[in-house]
Amino acid sequence: MGGTTGHRVYPGTEYRPGLLSPEVTRVERRWCRGFPFEAGFHYVQLAEGVNRPDPRSREGLRSLLGAHDTRAIRRLGQHFLVDRAILDNIADLVAAAAGKPVLEIGAGPGALTYTLADRGIQVVALEIDARLTRILEEGARASYPGLITVLQQDALRISWAEVARQAGWLEPITVVGNLPYYITGPLLAKLWQDPLGWTRAVLMVQQEVAVRVAAEPGTRASGAVSVLMRWIGHPRLADTVSREHFYPVPAVDSALLVIDRRPAPPAVPFEVLAWWVEAGFRHRRKMLRQALALASGPRWAKAQWDLHLRRCGIDGSRRAESLTMEEWLGLAASLPESAILGKLEYNKAKSREPEP
Ligand code: SAM
């Protein structure tokens, strides 16, 4: 990669833009820890046209961050991917949704962004950390002019539809991201709540979460999120990724999840399905008739639920994890909304973001 890089120049020497070489565009004076007070400043030069460290390897990432006096912040889930083969695998999965522009969540210093741009894919990159957006912007401007748009934004707060509108995207898009673990739940919920017309999502998430999302309803590994995600699309586990491929190394392994959107969602409204599924899984060790009775409160007792479940062809002693997608959809369509939810509860359910 060509572009901009930082150099440290130690005390006692004076440098100005243009003095050292015409490529030097900016000189900053910074406090440097470890020097005696009177000599405790050094200069950082940012020069155009010299080789810029590439964040797609451990060494490259380290020197890129070092050149900008930046460190990973664990609180923001900053565990960067430093393996070319895995980055290529993600880009292949994205490129398979041919020709679509890409919205990247949590772009960091740009390992994945550049891998996508190398294939001519147009990327809008969201990144919350201003230090990293600066690094990414410099690299994007120098090496991928016109292909990458960097926005310093909280991916959970910003309207993705608005981003697409501003980018002038009319076609459906692909969402991709090596997600910070702490936003995985709300981010998955945003996938089914945001009106943006995405057709494929390729997401690196904690392995445990990926296994849960991809689990077929009706199997022991399934949970509320396995069912709810199938309302919007078809999730599958594309790859498992050991923690060693990230820098700094996180405490858990990851996995790559691919979700292909259904051409049209099922007839049952999402909020109604969510009520049933959350009620069933909130007490996943209990029998379904009891879990539903706990969720509905005094409105319907266990015996009434038992009768209703039997009418739907489901034994009330079964547990939530044993129900297939078709059975969940059948249940959700089996009663008018008012029978399961008072108006207040219904509004509450509508505004709730289900957790994986
Ligand atoms: N894509 C890069 C890579 O693969 O190396 C970075 C991935 S790192 C796991 C997650 C990135 O998401 C970090 O750079 C972090 O600062 C950013 N991030 C954290 N919370 C975010 C949020 N709410 N919105 C946007 N970006 C966020």
DSSP secondary structure code for residue 334 in this structure: S
- Cα radius of gyration rounded to whole Å, the chain: 25
| Residue with CA at minimum distance from ligand 1 atom 23 | 154
Residue 109 half-sphere exposure toward CB, CA atoms < 13 A: 27
Position 107 scores a pLDDT of 98
Q: Which residues line ligand 1 (CB under 6 A)?
A: 76-81, 106-108, 111-112, 126-129, 132, 154-156, 178, 180, 183
For 7-36, b/e burial (b = at least 16 CB within 10 A) is beeeeeeeeeeeebeeebeebeeeebeeee
Give the model confidence (pLDDT) of 198-217 as tens digits. 899 999 999 999 999 999 99
Output the six-digit token pair for 340.
């399961």
- In the chain, domain spans: 1-46, 74-261, 270-350
Give the residue, out of 56, 80, 87, with the most ligand 1 atoms within 8 A of its beta carbon, to mutate for a pocket test: 80
- Going from the Cα of 105 to the center of ligand 1, the distance in angstroms, rounded, reads 7
Is the pLDDT higher at 139 or at 6?
Answer: 139
- Going from the Cα of 266 to the center of ligand 1, the distance in angstroms, rounded, reads 32
Q: Taking a C-beta distance cutoff of 8 angstroms, is the pair 217, 324 a contact?
A: yes
Give 222: exposed, middle or buried? Use CB within 10 Å, 0-12, 13-18, 19+: buried
Q: Is residue 7 scored above 50 in pLDDT?
A: no
Q: Which of 17-21, 48-52, 268-272, 317-321 has the highest mean pLDDT?
A: 317-321
Q: Which CATH superfamily is domain 270-350 in?
A: rRNA adenine dimethylase, C-terminal domain (1.10.8.100)
What amino acid is encoded at 245 in this protein? H
CA of 107, closest atom in ligand 1: 1
pTM: 0.83
- Going from the Cα of 155 to the center of ligand 1, the distance in angstroms, rounded, reads 9
Position 80 scores a pLDDT of 98
- Going from the Cα of 186 to the center of ligand 1, the distance in angstroms, rounded, reads 14
What amino acid is encoded at 271 in this protein? E
Q: How far apart are CA 165 and CA 280, in angstroms?
A: 38
Assigned CATH topology for domain 74-261: Rossmann fold (3.40.50)
